[in-house]
Amino acid sequence: MSCCGAPPDLEDVDAVSRLVTGKLAAFLRTLRDSGFAVGLAEGQDAAALMAAGYAERPGLLRSALKHLLAARKSDWDRFDGIFDAFWLGTRVRSRSITTGAAKAANSPSLKNLPSQQAEPRADAAAAMDQVPSIDGEDIDRSGEGRMEGASRADNLAEVDFRKLADPEQIELAHQAAAQLARAMRTRLTRRDRARRRGYRLDLRRTIHGNISHGGVPISLVKRQRKPKPLRLVVLLDASGSMSMYTGVFLRFIHGVLDEFREAEAFLFHTRLAQVSDAMKERDAGRALDRLSILAQGAGGGTRIGESLQTFNRWHAARVIHSRTCVMIVSDGYETGDAALLGREMAALGRRCRRIVWLNPMMGWQGYSPEARGIKAALPHVDLYAPANTLASLTALEPYLARL
Amino acid sequence: MKSRDEIARALGDAGYIADGELAIAVALMQQLRRPLLLEGEAGVGKTEVAKALAAAHATELIRLQCYEGLDQSAALYEWNYQRQLLSIQAHRGPDADAVEDRIFSEKYLLERPLLAAIRRDTPPVLLIDEIDRADDEFEAFLLELLSDFQVSIPEFGTIKATSIPHVVLTSNGSRELSDALRRRCLYHYVDYPDVDREARIIMTRVGGVGASLALQMARMVEGIRKEELRKVPGVAETLDWAAALVGLAVKDLHDAPETVHETLMCLLKTQEDRRRVTREVSDRLLGKVA
């Protein structure tokens, strides 16, 4: 950026270049606010490009900066819009600064939102509870009092999550779910390591170590293959009919994913949202708050088929490989097209190693899979299990370990 | 090669019809000395970019195909163990140090693509294909190599690059790449070509196709891409199909709807897609091709 030769009036040029640099810095700030990963080196290169004559032609500059500053498809698609708004908006200066300021003012309040949300969340959940209990009333009643194990003992492990009313109990159940998830995670990885023993010969180290034997490989150095982590993709139904379970499942999934490097999570109700980032938040409370915001706007039924279609179309290629287990947590009350759900399940089944469908309602005595969605999906599911109590969650472990 | 038009022309001479933005990306690669990361669906011609770039620079193309479990010995260098063992046996002596010095010398070093790429006299084009298939660890290692352009071999010492290669990385998005790598690279998203460009690609690559036939083919393929398919045909498939039609001496798609439908197997690669595009569908699509 300081490549000007010996211009007549140094002060003037300095002033101009300072102006341009300042403007560029503001632009980079705008990009960072919009989630672009722009570092110092990129800023320097951008300045160098502007000095190298790209600045004279906006179209060229836009394209050049796009290549330099975008890092993924989503950046790539948004860049032109941001660039135009910033640089080409008429009387650029004032407008761009106001957008920048608005962004800056917005983002802290967005960040504050989750913590403010923490309290009202319970209310929101309660409000959501009432909605499904109207349309799913008869099912609710038929399940009541006949819960398997509920009468045996007042043991938390056996209590259906939706029966937990008292906040303390809920907190206990959440903690237990998180603990269980953690234990499962360590056991799963340990088992994996013990099972896969690679024994390829490491020739390089062997030769190096045996020079003193005249090159006769006496002491062999072997190589252990690093255990490849299994990947878990969770699709969680956050619709109204699931609201009694959503909380505890979020906690459980957060626990399982926490340190799993290879994990992705999605929420769906009428549409699909990727929530992996929120799930990987270390603090469970913060993660749940972020998620509860994403989960809101539910109601109006569950479009499992459409959500799966979105998943297959836009996310599957990236998040699924041959050692992936897809875990769907849903009651299977499909309000969309059940045939579509069947088709998309088939497509999903072809891609991944295994599909686990957890249905909390399955734990209710006398429940038979009559929901249209479940019927269409079942032929493609490898494991269909209840997940309404801590005990039933524990029962999943051996299955996941075999993956 | 300086201006964007010159670059576009050079790539065109090498058989790659570039859009304007890609030419800018190539210009930036040279100016900023950054690697170029190409993302896009399978079959849009990402690898071809590197090949054309090598041809345009009149330099060598060194290709590293990534896969799960790719490690340094396959990507960077390896010792020639057989020769080392032979040498140890042949020169049996009391001095182990001398033996060690000898067997860990240049003579016993096998170059793999990455090492080869930084030791050429003229900068080659280094194509790191499908980087998303390699492990995170390899990606981190690659990042280091791409910023320092030097390699340290424990038994041998540090090898500095004699020339900085033009690096092109491609990714199909089967795994999310690290932010660090993305930031280091210039990014270009390769999309399916529009009708005009695809027609030009057909004319360049397949002999004996006139402008109007190429345009018809490109429009037909565009129509097929808009259908709900499991596997959307890429540019390579288009070229196969064009070659098939030329081989069958088709001069105008409207004259031979039967042949068009039968040769669609060049474009549709799954049973399901094949069944979905019935004769009615292909006739309808053909009807839209002016």
Residue B168 lies in a domain: yes
* The two three-digit tokens of residue A322, written as one number: 């041959």
CA atoms of B193 and B188, how far apart (whole Å): 14
Residues 232-261 of B with CB under 8 A from A: none
Q: Are residues A219 and A360 in the same domain?
A: no
Set of chain A residues whose Cβ sits within 8 Å of the Cβ of B44: none
Q: Among positive and negative, which fits the CA dihedral A142, A148, A151, A156?
A: negative
Set of chain B residues whose Cβ sits within 8 Å of the Cβ of A68: 28, 32, 34, 186
Mean pLDDT of A216-241: 72
Residue A105 lies in a domain: no
What local confidence, expressed as pLDDT, does residue A265 receive?
Answer: 84
Q: Are residues A211 and A280 in the same domain?
A: no
What local confidence, expressed as pLDDT, does residue B146 receive?
Answer: 87
Compute the nearest-CA separation of B96 from chain A (Å).
6
Considering A113-117, A277-281, B3-7, the range whose residues carry the highest mean pLDDT is B3-7
Domain end: B189, B208, B238, which one? Answer: B189
Judge whether B47 and B129 are in contact, CB under 8 Å.
Answer: yes
CA atoms of B206 and B74, how far apart (whole Å): 36
Compute the nearest-CA separation of A366 from chain B (Å).
39
Considering A169-178, A202-211, A320-329, B49-58, the range whose residues carry the highest mean pLDDT is B49-58
Residue B59 lies in a domain: yes
The confidence band for A20, taking pLDDT boundaries of 50, 70 and 90, is: confident
Q: Are residues A276 and A392 in the same domain?
A: yes
What local confidence, expressed as pLDDT, does residue A40 receive?
Answer: 87
Quick check: B230 and A72 CB within 8 A? no
Residue A196, pLDDT > 70, answer no
Q: Where are the alpha helices (DSSP H) in A326-384?
A: 338-351, 372-377
Query: Using CB atoms, which residue from A41, A72, A207 is nearest to B81?
Result: A207
Q: Are residues B216 and B265 in the same domain?
A: yes
Residue A56 lies in a domain: yes
Amino acid letter, B178: S
* Among chain A residues, CA nearest to B97: A211
Q: Are residues B218 and B166 in the same domain?
A: no
Residue B97 lies in a domain: no
Q: Are residues B55 and B132 in the same domain?
A: yes
Q: Which residue has the higher pLDDT, A279 or A66?
A: A66
Judge whether B26 and B53 are in contact, CB under 8 Å.
Answer: yes
CA atoms of B210 and B199, how far apart (whole Å): 10
- Among candidate residues A386, A368, A360, the one with its CA nearest the CA of residue A162: A360
Mean pLDDT of A111-121: 37
Residue range of the domain that includes A204: 198-228
Set of chain B residues whose Cβ sits within 8 Å of the Cβ of A347: 230
Backbone dihedral region for residue A292 (phi beyond 0: left; psi -120 to 50: alpha; all else: beta): alpha
Q: Are residues A207 and A180 in the same domain?
A: no
What local confidence, expressed as pLDDT, does residue A403 receive?
Answer: 52
What local confidence, expressed as pLDDT, does residue B65 receive?
Answer: 94
Q: Are residues A237 and A375 in the same domain?
A: yes
Q: Are residues A397 and A346 in the same domain?
A: yes
Residue B82 lies in a domain: no
Q: Where are the alpha helices (DSSP H) in A196-240?
A: 203-209
Q: Are residues A220 and A256 in the same domain?
A: no
Partners of residue B127 on adjacent β-strands: B63, B168
Residue B231 lies in a domain: yes
Q: Which residue has the higher pLDDT, B220 or A368?
A: B220
CA atoms of B161 and B181, how far apart (whole Å): 20
Decide the pairing of beta strands A383-385 and B157-160.
unpaired
Residue A202 lies in a domain: yes
User: Which residue, among B183, B184, B270, would best test binding to A if mutated, counting the most A CBs under 10 Å from its CB?
Assistant: B183
What pLDDT digit, counting tens, does each position of A310-353 carry?
888 888 888 887 778 888 888 877 777 888 888 889 888 888 87
Residue A192, pLDDT > 50, answer no
What local confidence, expressed as pLDDT, does residue B243 receive?
Answer: 94
Residuewise pLDDT in 10s, chain B (290 residues): 467 788 888 888 888 888 888 999 999 998 888 999 999 888 888 999 999 999 999 999 999 999 877 888 889 888 888 888 888 888 777 777 788 888 888 889 899 999 999 999 999 999 999 998 887 778 888 988 888 888 888 888 888 999 899 999 999 876 678 888 888 899 999 989 999 999 999 998 888 888 999 999 999 999 999 888 878 899 999 999 999 999 999 888 888 888 999 999 899 988 888 888 888 888 898 888 86
Query: What is the domain-level CATH number for residue A375?
Result: 3.40.50.410
What local confidence, expressed as pLDDT, does residue A400 receive?
Answer: 66
Residue A377, pLDDT > 80, answer yes
Domain end: A88, A114, A138, which one? Answer: A88
- The answer to whether residue A314 neighbours chain B at the CB level (below 8 Å) is no
- The answer to whether residue A51 neighbours chain B at the CB level (below 8 Å) is no
Residue A194, pLDDT > 50, answer no
Considering A101-115, A383-397, B239-253, the range whose residues carry the highest mean pLDDT is B239-253
- The answer to whether residue B95 neighbours chain A at the CB level (below 8 Å) is no
Q: Are residues B257 and B201 in the same domain?
A: yes
Q: Which residue has the higher pLDDT, A291 or B147?
A: B147
Backbone angles phi, psi at A161, to 5 degrees: -60, -30
Quick check: A67 and B188 CB within 8 A? yes
Residue B140 lies in a domain: yes
Residue B248 lies in a domain: yes
* C-alpha A147, offset from chain centre: 33
Q: Are residues A352 and A382 in the same domain?
A: yes
Q: Are residues A218 and A318 in the same domain?
A: no
Amino acid letter, A112: N
Residue A299, pLDDT > 50, answer yes
Compute the nearest-CA separation of A228 from chain B (Å).
10
Mean pLDDT of A7-13: 52
* Among chain A residues, CA nearest to B174: A318
CA atoms of A250 and A287, how far apart (whole Å): 9
Q: Are residues A259 and A350 in the same domain?
A: yes
Q: Are residues B274 and B221 in the same domain?
A: yes
Q: Are residues A165 and A268 in the same domain?
A: yes
Q: Are residues B39 and B176 in the same domain?
A: yes
Residue A138, pLDDT > 60, answer no
* Mean per-residue pLDDT over chain A, rounded: 68
* Among chain B residues, CA nearest to A209: B100
Quick check: B31 and A52 CB within 8 A? yes
Give ∠ CA B194-B52-A62 in degrees, rounded to 5. 55
Residue B94 lies in a domain: no
CA atoms of A194 and A196, how far apart (whole Å): 6
Compute the nearest-CA separation of B11 from chain A (Å).
18
What's the number of domains chain A is made of? 3
Q: Are residues B35 and B176 in the same domain?
A: yes
Q: Are residues A374 and A234 in the same domain?
A: yes
Buried b or exposed e, range B264-273, using 16+ CB within 10 angstroms: bebbbbeeeb
- Among candidate residues A82, A78, A79, the one with its CA nearest the CA of residue A66: A79
What local confidence, expressed as pLDDT, does residue A166 receive?
Answer: 65
Amino acid letter, B191: D
- The answer to whether residue A64 neighbours chain B at the CB level (below 8 Å) is yes
Residue range of the domain that includes B268: 195-283
Q: pTM here?
A: 0.62
Set of chain B residues whose Cβ sits within 8 Å of the Cβ of A39: 183
Compute the nearest-CA separation of B176 from chain A (Å).
7
What local confidence, expressed as pLDDT, does residue A107 receive?
Answer: 36
Mean pLDDT of A120-149: 36
What's the number of domains chain B is made of? 2
Query: What is the domain-level CATH number for residue B16?
Result: 3.40.50.300
Residues 112-131 of B with CB under 8 A from A: none
What local confidence, expressed as pLDDT, does residue A184 receive?
Answer: 60
What local confidence, expressed as pLDDT, does residue B224 receive?
Answer: 92
* The two three-digit tokens of residue A41, written as one number: 């080196």
Close Cβ partners of B229 (under 8 Å, ≥ 6 residues apart): B268, B273, B276, B277
Set of chain A residues whose Cβ sits within 8 Å of the Cβ of B28: 49, 64, 67-68
